Chains A and B, each alone.
Chain A
Amino acid sequence: EDQVTQSPEALRLQEGESSSLNCSYTVSGLRGLFWYRQDPGKGPEFLFTLYSAGEEKEKERLKATLTKKESFLHITAPKPEDSATYLCAVQAEETSGSRLTFGEGTQLTVNP
């Protein structure tokens, strides 16, 4: 069974204090790993797709990396507007259709 574990559950940072969020996964064969950002009461916003170990993608203050067992979302010099819940999801090669297995998310708070 595919599993995704995100850590920490919650993270408080001061503005400008860089850190990383972790997404550990167990999947029979990885088709893709997805990162989303979700603000309270809103739908998840797509951030990145990673397909193979060693791949990296960047967008503004965010950088996502992938190994064979985990993915990291690095946040450099965060701002208060980066406060949100960050969700990681995997799609397995053998999955029927287009199922995503989500982690429970990391709730990030950036204080000014």
Chain B
Amino acid sequence: DTEVTQTPKHLVMGMTNKKSLKCEQHMGHRAMYWYKQKAKKPPELMFVYSYEKLSINESVPSRFSPECPNSSLLNLHLHALQPEDSALYLCASSQWAYNEQFFGPGTRLTVL
């Protein structure tokens, strides 16, 4: 089973709201990722967790806060976002840090 699930599929939030995106995989992968993708652009890496520890933060603004509660789950907490943060947010996982990454279906986020 090469499935990564993400919830919700769509999210609309105001600039003062707090919301969370969730990602889950049951493939036993030890690396998990958050990406942001704008229309007609490739995915941009935001965070990498390896063995449940944050290993890469690509200088992402603090209004995005990642969390890895266990090896199967990854959250992205959102607070005080800006309209330019509207995008497709993708979660991915890989067996180890250097293997192919498997992506989830994404969460379409709109910030009003």
Chain A interfacial positions (CB closer than 8 Å to B):
31-32, 34, 36, 41-46, 49, 87, 89, 91, 96-100, 102-105
Contacts and interface: CB of A to CB of B under 8 A. Distances in A.
B100 A104 contact: no
Interface stretch (B12-20, B63-71, B78-86, B102-110): B102-110
A99 B97 CA distance: 9
B21 interface: no
Contacts of B56: 96-99
A100 to B, nearest CB: 7
Nearest to B41: A104
Contact of B103 (A44, A91, A98): A44
A87 B42 contact: yes
A43 B42 contact: no
Looking at chain B's contact residues, is the secondary structure mostly helix, strand, loop, or mixed? Answer: strand
Interface residues of B, number: 28
Given A32-B100, A43-B90, A87-B42, A97 B105 contact: no
A96 B33 CA distance: 14
A23 B61 CA distance: 32
B100 A102 contact: no
Contact of B97 (A34, A45, A87, A97): A97
B108 to A, nearest CB: 7
Contacts of A45: 103
A46 B100 contact: yes
Given A41-B108, A44-B43, A49-B100, A98 B90 contact: no
A41 B106 contact: yes
A102 to B, nearest CB: 4
23 contacts: A31-B98, A34-B101, A42-B106, A43-B4, A43-B6, A43-B90, A43-B92, A43-B103, A43-B106, A44-B43, A44-B90, A44-B103, A46-B2, A91-B98, A97-B50, A98-B56, A98-B94, A98-B98, A98-B101, A99-B48, A99-B56, A103-B42, A104-B41
